[in-house]
Amino acid sequence: MPSPISRRHLVEWFEAACVPREQFQVGVEWEKEAVRRDGRRVGFDDADGIESILVRLADRFGWTPVHEGGRVIALSREGDNITLEPGGQIEISTAPHQRLAGIERALRRHLAELQAVTRGTDVLFGASGFTPVASVTEIPFVPKARYGVMRDYLAVRGALGHSMMKGTSSVQVTLDYESEADCARKFAIAMALSPVVTALAACSPFVEGRRSGYASWRSRCWQQTDPDRTGLLGDLLARDFTFTGWVDWLMDVPMMFLHIRGRYISAQGRTFGDWIRDGISGTRPSVEDWELHLTSVFPEVRVKNFIEIRGADNSPLPHALGLVALWKGLLYDPEALGQAEEVAALLPLSDREALWEVAARDALAGRHRGRSLRAWAGLLLEIASGGLQRQAPDGPAEVAYLAPLVELAKTGESRAEQVSRLIEEPADPRALVAALAYPAVVRIPPVAPSAGLWSASELRDASR
Contact 332, 391 (CB under 8 A): yes
CB atoms within 10 A of CB 213: 11
- pLDDT per residue of the chain (464 residues) written in tens, 0 to 9: 566 799 999 999 999 999 999 999 999 999 999 999 999 999 999 999 999 999 999 999 999 999 999 999 999 999 999 999 999 999 999 999 999 999 999 999 999 999 999 999 999 999 999 999 999 999 999 999 999 999 999 999 999 999 999 999 999 999 999 999 999 999 999 999 999 999 999 999 999 999 999 999 999 999 999 999 999 999 999 998 999 999 999 999 999 999 999 999 999 999 999 999 999 999 999 999 999 999 999 999 999 999 999 999 999 999 999 999 999 999 999 999 999 999 999 999 999 999 999 999 999 999 999 999 999 999 999 999 999 999 988 899 999 999 999 999 999 999 999 999 999 988 999 999 999 999 999 999 999 988 876 655 555 554 44
Q: Report whether 325 contacts 388 (CB < 8 A).
A: yes
Q: What is the distance between the alpha carbons of residues 82 and 65, in angstroms, rounded to a whole number?
A: 9
* Residue 50 and residue 57 in contact, taking contact as beta carbons nearer than 8 Å: no
List CB contacts of 457: < 8 A, sequence separation 6 or more.
none
- Sign for the CA dihedral angle at 367, 372, 374, 378 comes to negative
Return the pLDDT at 450. Answer: 82
Domain-by-domain residue ranges, the chain? 7-253+297-457
Could you tell me what percentage of the chain is helix, strand and coil, using 3-state DSSP and rounding each to the nearest 5? Answer: 50, 20, 30
> Which residues make Cβ contacts (< 8 Å) with residue 33, sequence separation at least 6?
41, 42, 87, 88, 89, 90, 125, 126, 128, 131, 169
Residue 36 — φ and ψ, nearest 5°? -75, 160
Q: How far is C-alpha 41 from the geometric centre of its chain's CA atoms?
A: 20
Alpha carbon distance 331, 334 (integer Å) = 7
Closest CA to 352 of 406, 415, 300: 300
Q: Which top CATH class is 7-253+297-457?
A: alpha beta
